[in-house]
Structure 1
Amino acid sequence: MNILVLNGSPRKNGNTEIMADAFIEGARKRGHMVEKVNLGNRKIAPCLACEFCFTHNGVCVQKDDMAEILDKVDSADMIVFASPVYWFSISAQLKAAIDRLYARARKGFNIRYAVLLLDSASDGVYRSAIAAYEDICAYLRWEDKGILTVPGMDTKGDMERSEGVKKAYDLGRSLASISVTSSLSFDVWAESVT
């Protein structure tokens, strides 16, 4: 299976990236192909809602780093959203990328599965991020393969000393039984906007 990990943390080698890397290691041990994109060093503008993509086979009118990411999305069977929670939701970097997935609204997705990896300093701050993720999965008919939340990440590197690393690794390893039998795409968004 081809897995795309979108790391929404702006902090290089921070807790979120450590968690994402542990997940990736576990998934690779099971033979999956995994690619990580660190969104913190990418130029991704907000969606303009111009719907240029609807008449141009998913091509976005904006010429920034999202074009490369959308190409990776097109070949992914699974997408993994990894983010720190700073203010009761995912990071602005990840939110911008998710909003720009709108470019595939009419074209459709190959993605069948999704995972959510979240970390934060405080506990009890995940409800909004999880609700948005679950709504995305339900709307696009992506099967949720796991939600991991790791609180107590007060300083950079805390993840390395936490149970979160093992849990992320184990989640990646748990993907062994998933097989992709088809690459059908479907047009969910287009049904609701036309």
Structure 2
Amino acid sequence: MKKVLILSGSPRKCGNSDLLCDEFIRGATDAENNVEKIWIPAKKIGYCRACYYCKHHNGECCIKDDMAEVLQKMLAADVLVLASPVYFYSVDAQMKAVIDRTVARWLEFKDKEFYYIMTAAEDEEHTMDCTLECFRGLAACFEGSKEMGVIRGKGVYDKGEIRDTPYMNQAYEMGKSIK
């Protein structure tokens, strides 16, 4: 059994990427993993100020918000699932804030398995390239990280539109594959 943490950056609760997270949860739970989802917009997470207070205070950030709790859960997880809709060919602001704030303790991250979930209104494959590179950039900074799976939910815009697509089953199966 693995400890799975899903970080859902969708600003829309039950938006397309958030719904894929729920299917991933269903699969990972059916495979008897310990799964938690954090819907990032429900948390108070400020942007990194690059003051490097954390560098001189054992990873403690000068910003007193929910990120300390999120970081602790990220460090405790075996598997990290990052999910975001595509905003101007990149991750949304909510996800980017979390990514940037990992700077406080990034050297502590070791041997994480990563899964990436992305959704976009466009159908073009290249639409998600930058978003995927943002996710991969975070993982590249963590020693021993492994990319385990990617979902590119293309051609969905309206809230809930993802429900009638094969991406839902793909998310379920990807979660179920965690052993």
Task: Place the TM-score, normalised by the shorter chain, in its bin.
Answer: over 0.9
Q: Which residue does the alignment assign to 2:104?
A: 103
Q: Aligned-pair RMSD on alpha carbons?
A: 1.3
Give TM-score, length-normalised by structure 2.
0.92
Is contact 2:106–2:141 with CA below 8 Å preserved after alignment? Answer: no
Q: Which residue does the alignment assign to 1:138?
A: 140
Deviation at 1:110, TM superposition (A): 4.4
Distance 2:149 2:43 in 1: 26
Unaligned runs of 5+ in 2: none
Is contact 2:6–2:37 with CA below 8 Å preserved after alignment? Answer: yes
Q: Which residue does the alignment assign to 1:183?
A: none
* Secondary structure of the structure 2 residue equivalent to 1:175: coil
Q: Which residue does the alignment assign to 1:127?
A: 129
1:146/1:173 Cα in 2 relative to 1: closer, same or farther (>3 Å)?
A: same
Of 167, 171, 178, the match for 1:168? 171
Alignment of 1:56-135 (within 5 A): 56-106=57-107, 108-124=108-124, 125-135=127-137
Distance 2:49 2:65 in 1: 13
Give TM-score, length-normalised by structure 1.
0.85
How many residue pairs match? The answer is 175
Q: Deviations over 1:148-194 (max 9, x none)?
A: 10111121111111111000001111112xxxxxxxxxxxxxxxxxx
Is contact 1:73–1:111 with CA below 8 Å preserved after alignment? Answer: no
Return structure 1 stretches of 4+ with deviation > 4 angstroms: none
Q: Deviations over 1:65-107 (max 9, x none)?
A: 112111211211111100111210111100000100111134x
